[in-house]
A and B are shown apart, each in its own frame.
Chain A
Amino acid sequence: MHVDRIADIWGTRTPFSLDQPWPVRVDQALAAGVAEHDVDRWVASACVLCSNGCGCDIAVKDGRMVGVRGRLSDRVNRGRLGPKGLFGSWRGMAGADRLTTPLVRDGDRLVEADWDTAMNRIVARSRDLLEHAGPLSHGFYTSGQLFLEEYYALTILARAGIGTPHLDGNTRLCTATAGAALKESFGSDGQPGTYADLDVCDTLVLYGHNMAETQTVLWMRVLDRLASPDRPRLLCIDPRETEVARHADLHLRVRPGTNLALMNGLLHQLFAHDWVDDAYVDAHTHGVDELRHVVEPWTADRVATTCAVPAADVAEAGRMIGTSARLVSTVLQGFYQASQATAAACQVNNIHLLRGMLGRPGCGVLQMNGQPTAQNTRECGANGDLPGFRNWQNPRHVEELAELWDVDPMVIPDWAPPTHAMQIFRYVEQGSIDLLWISATNPAVSLPDSERIRRILSRPDLFLVVQDLYLTETGLLADVVLPAAGWGEKQGTFTNADRTVHLSGRAVDPPGEARSDLDIFLDYTRRMDFRRRDGSPLLGWTGPEDGFRAWQDCSRGRPCDYTGLSYERLEAESGIPWPCTAAQPDGTERLYTDGWFPTSAEEAEDYGHDLLTGAPTSPAAFRALDLHGRARLRPAAYAPPHEEPDEDYPFRCMTGRTAYHFHTRTKTARTPQLQQAAPGAWAELSEGDADRLGVRERDLVKISTRRSSIAVPARIANLTDGTVFVPFHYGNMPGSEGERTAANEVTATDWDPVSKQPTYKLAAARVDKIADGQRPAPAPTTTASRPAGHALVPPTVGGADALAEETLDVDAASASAQSA
């Protein structure tokens, strides 16, 4: 059947009960005028337009990508795709304005150049800086969009080639807190649970996670369970009335900035009613007495006052969690991009440890990722950590890397924690980093306080390299722009939020002279003549598969062991979850099934931090904890947020995502179905606040904070009084004119002390009407931005161009797959 998947984001329901597998539903979208029998071949891949990692096949005709189909055999999606995947994954690669040749700066212009010219400029500056200023003059800021092999190459060139600690990814903005919380609680990164836990849980809690829009296919899985008579109970914690909230049995509209107080209140309920698995806690955890002490004052009444949530609802939420038999929790940006982010995310882990609900079917934590390959950024060390979840405070781990790379251990920067993105930009601002290389990310729009970031990137002495698919707002400021090949144009692997590894094939040639990010990194390393101690090239890889094999060596024996995988297997079998070894050839669905955690000093990726200050725990102090494989219960005292509303700025402003766009719209704005569904920025106000301000739907409002202001149309929506929501996708793209609309014009430069993730979810703001509305706010009506009450707003539909084919008949789908 054909379904308008812009109007119906989640498609047709396929309900299933506890004892059934999630049914197959194969989703397919092809370019207009292309029928299935026209397709020359299908190339296996997985979608990169959110962190879910849905297995898919790319349709190729006449050397072009012409569509996509979900893989029915894939454990992640069982054939389904979301609107971004269906329409944007391939279409977003084919914008007429793709970069096809390198560009170099000539005064105030960027002019076309050949690869030699562009790379030689980079190498000349790089060599000069290394000679006169040393390795700390170089910074690298990468992405959650590249492939595993590319991150690992970048890490080796930065750590072992140059020897700089200044390497981070934009995963700092999306997933840093997930990794940090896992390390604090369990000793190492690594998702404990699996998506399959959603199928069999009896209670599901979404903490600041608007799954319906951030991972639409995962939400389909939940919707299919909710549509069954034995549905799980659903608890939603979010200040907005999201699609998740609409389906929830209980919705706590927590006041922005107070997550930790709420979490301490929920833990209080568990202790107060003895909903604690004492045997598990005794055998497998450390720190229960201190945790009990810290949460003791957080009665439901006190939580109600601090978090603006009814006390009875706090007690009921505690009861839902406390009486569950199989509990799954998922966490995302509502916690990660908020104040006390790591501390709050750790409390979710604490709940599961207290209840002994880890490592069993239906009992899992999913500390989610925001991006498709963020997990690889973390594993490979392109987020700053050492590769293979190694510990910068463990000399043996550093030596292992030096042996793998055959370099002097002295060159690997292990003297302090790696430099996080916000600090890298601060060093650029101060002039001590003079070469900044940005790959596949657009910080001019995505980092807080955009005006400051643009100023930093425009500093005359800075040599800025930008490598991307399109000329972004950031690329415009570069000294050298490198045209990158992207999804479907290069081969490589990546890993989703439940550790499922996919191989993405090369379906078509990249446009013009564009090259894969891997080729670019290898080229630079070759030109710089970085060498191993034996004299051979530091990165002698001939292609991605060499990189994968090198990575397998690096991962051997570590929690993220890839040694049982191969390109061959991934191509033949679709997604497989790590760790995957010769002993566990099918991969590993759940971690910590035996309640044994990687918290020995020898094994731990991290010795933890003071959750208030972010100071790392010393090796000696960590050893003194004597954990012996026990997980750490990490208590944390609530502290009010840094930026509170006042008379001048009475609102709490938060930023976030809509279902139809990804990031700064690099691909999704170039996909007509997606762009038309959410064509421009808006701000959401509550009905009560709109009445008080005299703002009607469509009116142009100015959102001002202590930094700057934006002007966007108002949507009167369903959110807590006193809060404003602004989507973060809408920068002023090259060529666009008019008022500033990027949410990050108004956000604050501030971050969590442990994960260093910026605090996008809270800025004190004022709202002023500046003009009567001309046309409806461009906010979708199908999502959390749907109009409140009965406002007359045309519904969001896709029309003929947005029809996707959904096949529910498994046998027919199988036959079709076999013929491919």
Chain B
Amino acid sequence: MTAKLRVYLDLLERSERGLAAAFRTVADRHAEEPDIYHLLQTFASRSEQQAEELRPQLARYAPPSDSSSGTLQPPQLGAAISGPLGLLSDLQSLHLLASHVQSSQTMVGQAARALHDEALMDVIGGASQQTQQQISWLNSRMKEAAPQALGVPG
């Protein structure tokens, strides 16, 4: 009866790993922005750690017999664009990926609550705080960068 939760746990784990990889990719694309470079490395490590912490939870739920639900996929990072516009678009992509992690966390957390699964609730609770921190920063950094990237010719 909980097999469908496993589908979303899998999705969340892939989403976290995808976000971690995207953080590292964007960090490398914009290594000349030191604030972004260093913070995204920190974010990447934390997202990887969050994915690791999900693994023991995954094992506690049986995989679904119906393989069709395995096609759920997190969003992907867009292709590299150079310059300030590329930075904006990468931050926006990361925002999308992190939001996907967050909404997945919300759904899994709701199910965990309903199933009285305190271990899973703890993992999701800690992780969602970090995801919110990532989203808040992405949002503020986009707000700072947008006027210069979009408002100045050249």
Contact = CB atoms under 8 A, between A and B. Distances in A.
Q: Which of A416, A748, A750 has the most CB of B within 10 A?
A: A416
Contacts of B42: 612, 639
Contacts of B141: 615
Nearest to A642: B38
A417 B152 contact: no
A132 interface: yes
B126 interface: no
B39 A415 contact: no
B133 A753 contact: no
A610 B39 CA distance: 12
A734 interface: no
Contacts of B137: 610, 613-615
Contacts of B83: 430
A430 B84 contact: yes
Contacts of B154: 133, 431-432
A137 B152 contact: yes
B143 interface: yes
Contact of A749 (B34, B134, B147, B148): B34
Contacts of B117: none
A616 interface: yes
Interface in A111-154: 132-134, 136-137
Contacts of A751: 34-35
Interface in B101-154: 133-134, 136-137, 139-141, 143-144, 147-149, 151-154
Contacts of A415: 143, 147
Contact of A753 (B39, B144, B148, B151): B39
Nearest to A748: B34
B147 A416 contact: yes
B33 interface: yes
A610 B141 CA distance: 13
A136 B34 contact: no
Given A136-B148, A615-B133, A639-B42, A426 B33 contact: yes
Contacts of A614: 35, 39, 137, 140
A427 interface: yes
A426 B42 CA distance: 22
Interface string A506-545: 0000000000000000000000000000000000000000
Interface in B11-68: 32-35, 38-39, 42
A610 B136 contact: yes
Nearest to A165: B147
Interface in A405-453: 415-417, 419, 423, 426-427, 430-432
Nearest to A750: B34
Given A415-B147, A417-B144, A610-B137, A132 B153 contact: yes
B29 to A, nearest CB: 15
Contacts of A750: 34, 38
B152 A753 contact: no
A427 B154 CA distance: 12
Contacts of B140: 416-417, 614-616
Nearest to A621: B136
A209 B145 CA distance: 35
A431 B133 CA distance: 31
A614 B33 CA distance: 15
A136 B133 CA distance: 29
A132 B153 CA distance: 8
A610 B34 CA distance: 18
A614 B143 CA distance: 13
A432 B39 contact: no
A165 B39 CA distance: 24
A761 to B, nearest CB: 16
Contacts of A642: 34, 38
Nearest to B43: A613
A165 B152 CA distance: 13
A608 to B, nearest CB: 12
Given A416-B143, A416-B147, A615-B137, A432 B84 contact: yes
A417 B143 CA distance: 9
A748 B35 CA distance: 12
A760 to B, nearest CB: 14
A427 B148 contact: yes
Interface in A219-246: none
Contacts of A639: 42
Contact of B133 (A165, A432, A610): A610
Closest 5 CB pairs of A and B: A613-B137, A615-B137, A432-B152, A615-B140, A615-B136
19 contacts: A133-B152, A133-B153, A136-B147, A137-B152, A416-B144, A416-B147, A417-B144, A419-B144, A427-B148, A430-B84, A610-B136, A613-B134, A613-B136, A613-B137, A614-B137, A615-B139, A642-B34, A748-B34, A749-B34
Given A133-B152, A642-B34, 14 more contacts: A133-B153, A134-B151, A137-B152, A415-B147, A416-B147, A423-B144, A426-B32, A430-B84, A614-B137, A615-B137, A616-B140, A642-B38, A751-B34, A751-B35
Interface of A: 132-134, 136-137, 165, 415-417, 419, 423, 426-427, 430-432, 610, 612-616, 639, 642, 748-751, 753
